[in-house]
Structure 1
Amino acid sequence: MDWIRDNKPLAAILGVTLLGSLALGYLLFASWSEYTEASETYQAVGQQIGALKGERLSPTDANLKSKQAVVAEYSAQVNKLGAALLFLQTPAEPIKEIDFQAKLKTKISETRTQAAEKKMQLPADFAFGFEEYTGKLPVSAAAATELSGYLDALHELVQLLMKSGVQSVDLFQRSKLPIESQATAPQPANNNNNNFGRQVQGPAPISEKRQIVLNLTLDQGPLQLLVSRLTNPEDMKYFTSLRLLRIENEKQDGPLRKDVKIAPQDQNVLSGTPVQDTTKKEEVASDDIKPPAPAYEDTRQVFGSEPLKVRMEIDLVKFLDAAKGVAAQAPAGR
């Protein structure tokens, strides 16, 4: 007590600090208790919701009508999307076998001329992956029509490579279509209900993926531009999906010291020798303020400026007529 009387200010400060600590501890304990309770309640509710979602619907008329209404709305939206994709897709115009071959040769000649103007190198046997059709005709008019649409898409892709600044196309391959080996269109299977043990066919496919493999030589900027333009409908009017992208530096190892070419002015900078400008003339006295001459660069890039070697695998997506009624083809949910 004597110490408190002798040190009243300090005692008051200690008392206030002690009371504040007790109050803060109480608030912390209360907050932690509320948090624990709320967390347990949240987890319990989440488990209940998960259990309810996993349970089957009660077989009542109200639940049946509600589910049918939801499925019908979903089906309508899916079919609307499929019809919109077919509308946006560029259709393939009917063409005869001999006309397709003439079209292919014309496209090859025009593309080679344009590539030379853009300074983009093409393989010696470049033919958009249709090399075999430069000497023979497609198996049918239907195959020629599909190949013509395929050729239009690949021609658009090569044009995009030129616009993006690709230096060289080292490899250009495309997947073949099933119709290329079929002389006539396949006949639908006979679904006779009286056949015992018949195979039930699933819904018809709504899309077809055509794969294109490219090996390119280009810089980082053109690569970024090409990847962004592939998904931009203003630059690429066909549906594409970049499935694989592998990037390597053209040179895997750094240059040796003896292979680095250093300019004379850089030699002077490295050795500390002052550079003498022999071309400098006497300047006439003037009141004009002029900036000093730029100094020589003290660094020079010797690695990392080489082009990139890029392998791209692109899926060219074609939507089929079944996309209009894909929801109607799907089996009804149980």
Structure 2
Amino acid sequence: MNWFQQNRLLGTFLAGFGICLLLVGLVFYWTGSKWNAARTEFDTAAAERSRLEHLDPFPSDANFRKMKVHLENYGVALDKLKEELKTRVIPLPSGLAPNEFQSRLLQVMTATSQKARETKVKLPDNFHLGFNEFITSLPNTDAAPLLGQELSQIQTLINILLDARVENVTSFQRTPLPEERGGAPGPAPTPSRGRKSAQANISGTKLLERNVVDLTFKAGPSVARKVLNQIASSPAQFYIIRTLYVRNEKDKGPPREKTAETGAAAVQSTGPNAPSNAPLNFIVGNEHVEVSARIEMLRFTF
């Protein structure tokens, strides 16, 4: 005690140093215990991972039976969906000869022209439903059934316009099929090794084909809406309106002076001395619209 009193600074330093050593020892002990627990947990997880990697996984009997039931239900639902989609597509006339297609084309052209005269719809000059080249020449044998199906699809589309009594059809263009030029889908590329081969096979399978037409017609706003709704909801053929452009025939509104005069006339016509059968003069709403659309006609290949 006398030494501590005589060497107070050194004694305080030694006491603090001893306390620090004790604290460091406690920290090392706590850290070592935690490290041992973590190492034990890691070794257990690594052993379990190694065990799972060397196992031959297979579901239990109960799960396997459930999976088979789910697969069967999925197959039934998928087949039902395919059959329902096939009813939304005009069937392919198998075995249609080139000369039969040409005869059918002439019949459809005659029927369409007659119906256009009855409904007072103006069609483009020399309107051949987009099959201009087949008026004087025959298609190849492989393309004739596909062209026959496309002819029925186009006839249904034109009938929608005629039944709605649009003002006129200004243009109609059909995108030629690859089969018309003797083209055929090229061979699928050789898949690379590994898991990409299955993905390449899936992506290379085509479930549908598209026949594309571009048409432009003029009609009133209500008639144009009716036509677009009927095309999108046609039960006979699955149509997709891919692009749509609507242009008003009047780019500018009525002049302000004319609007004021019309408003004053309307006030006078609704006065107490105005006749009851005075006609109403609408400022807007009487314009016609020009509708240009690219329409895809689907053909399912499953």
Change (3 A) 1:91 1:295: closer
CA drift of 1:80 comes to 2.4
Superposition map of 1:91-102 within 5 A? 91-93=91-93, 94-102=95-103
Aligned residues: 234
Whether the 8 Å CA contact 1:266–1:296 is kept in 2: the answer is no
CA drift of 1:210 comes to 1.6
Name 1:143's counterpart in structure 2. Answer: 143
Change (3 A) 1:201 1:267: closer
Superposition map of 1:53-202 within 5 A? 60-61=59-60, 62-87=62-87, 89-93=89-93, 94-140=95-141, 142-182=142-182, 201-202=201-202
TM-score of the pair, normalised by structure 2: 0.65
Change (3 A) 1:102 1:258: farther
Name 1:294's counterpart in structure 2. Answer: 276
Superposition map of 1:1-334 within 5 A? 60-61=59-60, 62-87=62-87, 89-93=89-93, 94-140=95-141, 142-182=142-182, 201-202=201-202, 204-233=205-234, 236-256=235-255, 266=265, 269=268, 293-294=275-276, 296=278, 300-320=281-301, 322=302
Q: Higher Cα Rg: structure 1 or 2? A: 2
| Secondary structure of residue in 2 paired with 1:201 | helix
Change (3 A) 1:295 1:106: closer
Whether the 8 Å CA contact 1:217–1:309 is kept in 2: the answer is yes
Name 2:32's counterpart in structure 1. Answer: none
Fraction of identical pairs, as percent: 25
Unaligned 5+ residue runs, structure 1?
1-57, 192-196, 276-291, 323-334
CA drift of 1:231 comes to 4.1
**For residues 92 and 300 of structure 2, what CA distance do their matches in structure 1 show?**
12
**For residues 288 and 296 of structure 2, what CA distance do their matches in structure 1 show?**
25
Whether the 8 Å CA contact 2:90–2:152 is kept in 1: the answer is no
| Secondary structure of residue in 2 paired with 1:212 | strand
CA drift of 1:60 comes to 3.3
Higher relative contact order (CA 8 A, sep 6+): 1
| Secondary structure of residue in 2 paired with 1:216 | strand
CA drift of 1:241 comes to 2.2
CA drift of 1:137 comes to 1.2
What do the CA deviations read for 1:218-276 (whole angstroms, capped 9, x no partner)?
1111122212222445xx5112222232222111112447889x89x959949x9x98x
| Secondary structure of residue in 1 paired with 2:139 | coil
**For residues 216 and 228 of structure 2, what CA distance do their matches in structure 1 show?**
14
More helix by share: 2
